[in-house]
């Protein structure tokens, strides 16, 4: 029956083909038409899925705190407020990323990875701005821009943080147990935020818009909040791990000439993620693995006198700086057990490290110095 149906379709196509076109050309034309229709349906489905998620977010907020959502509806503002405010109120990131192409951040900039004054300033702006209570309007059946895909989860998660803040001050009554009953919404919102940030960080023309900075602020606030972080990390830990891996690869693989200040912002985000005790150990393990693998590859290339990736060599120093800062933060927090810092990767990293440093020290003295400094932190009494 299937063969007969295919044969009948083939005859129908041949008989219906317009004059001046071969059967093959007509079939290719029909296939292209069908594929275009499929593509249109796909993005319509994506828009509708985004609208369903928005409705679920609104419903979840209403379940957690009906009073908050009631006051939220009184705010007659649009979702474009966050984006339109960009030209009026640029953040400090904008000035940082007006890059000359050769301005490599100095050590003092990386010493502030743990504190990140720019992050605190932008976080203060988020906490005090009215867009905490903005309500995202329904989506139109059109393509979702990258900005919209990032703004929607940011606003939802900001509302969660604001409810948490108001409930702590006993201004609102909130039932956060509802997060357990609707893990889909919180997971998808965090995943959407992480995917949106990854897309922007991968962009060759690195954006310095305020909504990107505020997206990072919301993410950090979520994982540092004592009540919300359990829900986020428990349900989205794998996604967070994937996000950290993506950021590390963005640093390593970026070959743009005008890249250093953009990569510094990515490095800052990694450093801020490392302030969370749970994420810190896994991030240290990832960094140890990448630095170790590059050191072994560099040693092999040096021994056989082959070429090595000079761009990756330049970028690896950013990972070394982040790693050193995270290890310093770990040693300074005496109340945190650091016996498992790095885990198996710590053992792998320290194995044969002295030989690697010995062979590379003449040709690559700066990289060897960083390897030695990291090994000292790992071997210090506080890290045992």
Give the global pTM.
0.71
- Residue-level pLDDT at 318: 94
286 pLDDT above the threshold of 90: yes
- Residue-level pLDDT at 116: 46
Determine the Cα angle at 151 with ends 115 and 168, to 5°: 60
Band (32; pLDDT cuts 50, 70, 90): confident
- Residue-level pLDDT at 73: 53
Q: Poorest-confidence range of 1-10, 27-36, 291-300, 370-379?
A: 27-36
90 pLDDT above the threshold of 60: no
- Alpha-carbon distances, residue 163 vs 64, 103, 120 (angstroms): 8, 41, 20
Band (241; pLDDT cuts 50, 70, 90): very high
* C-alpha closest to that of 91 among 183, 278, 216: 216
Instruction: Please check whether residue 208 is in contact with residue 163, taking contact to mean a CB–CB distance below 8 angstroms.
Output: no
What is the average pLDDT score of the chain?
77
- Residue-level pLDDT at 147: 67
């Amino acid at each position: 029956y299937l063969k007969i149906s295919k044969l009948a379709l083939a005859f129908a196509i041949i008989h219906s083909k317009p004059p001046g076109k071969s059967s093959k050309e007509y079939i290719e034309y029909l296939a292209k038409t069908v594929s275009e229709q499929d593509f249109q349906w796909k993005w319509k489905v994506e828009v509708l899925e985004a609208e369903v998620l928005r409705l679920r977010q609104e419903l979840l907020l209403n379940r957690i705190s009906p009073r908050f959502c009631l006051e939220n509806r009184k705010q007659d503002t649009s979702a474009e407020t966050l984006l339109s405010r960009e030209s009026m109120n640029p953040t400090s990131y904008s000035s940082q990323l007006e890059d000359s192409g050769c301005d490599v951040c100095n050590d003092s900039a990386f010493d502030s990875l743990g504190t990140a004054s720019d992050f605190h300033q932008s976080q203060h702006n988020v906490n005090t701005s009215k867009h905490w209570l903005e309500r995202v309007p329904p989506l139109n059946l059109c393509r979702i821009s990258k900005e919209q895909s990032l703004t929607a989860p940011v606003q939802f998660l900001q509302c969660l943080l604001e409810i948490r803040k108001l409930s702590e001050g006993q201004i609102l009554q909130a039932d956060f147990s509802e997060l357990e009953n609707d893990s889909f919404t919180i997971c998808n919102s965090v995943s959407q935020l992480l995917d949106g940030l990854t897309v922007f960080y991968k962009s060759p023309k690195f954006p310095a818009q305020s909504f990107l900075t505020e997206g990072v602020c919301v993410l950090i606030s979520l994982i540092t909040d004592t009540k919300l972080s359990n829900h986020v990390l428990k349900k989205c830990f794998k996604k967070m791990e994937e996000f950290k891996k993506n950021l590390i690869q963005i640093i390593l693989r970026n070959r743009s000439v005008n890249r250093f200040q953009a990569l510094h912002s990515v490095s800052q985000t990694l450093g801020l993620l490392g302030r969370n005790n749970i994420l810190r150990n896994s991030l240290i393990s990832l960094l140890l693995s990448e630095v170790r693998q590059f050191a072994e590859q560099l040693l092999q290339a040096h021994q056989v006198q082959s070429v090595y990736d000079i761009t990756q060599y330049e970028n690896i120093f950013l990972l070394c700086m982040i790693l050193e800062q995270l290890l310093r933060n770990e040693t300074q927090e005496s109340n945190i057990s650091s016996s498992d810092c790095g885990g198996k990767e710590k053992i792998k990293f320290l194995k044969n490290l002295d030989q690697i440093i010995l062979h590379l020290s003449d040709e690559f003295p700066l990289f060897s110095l960083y390897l030695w400094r990291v090994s000292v932190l790992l071997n210090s009494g506080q890290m045992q």
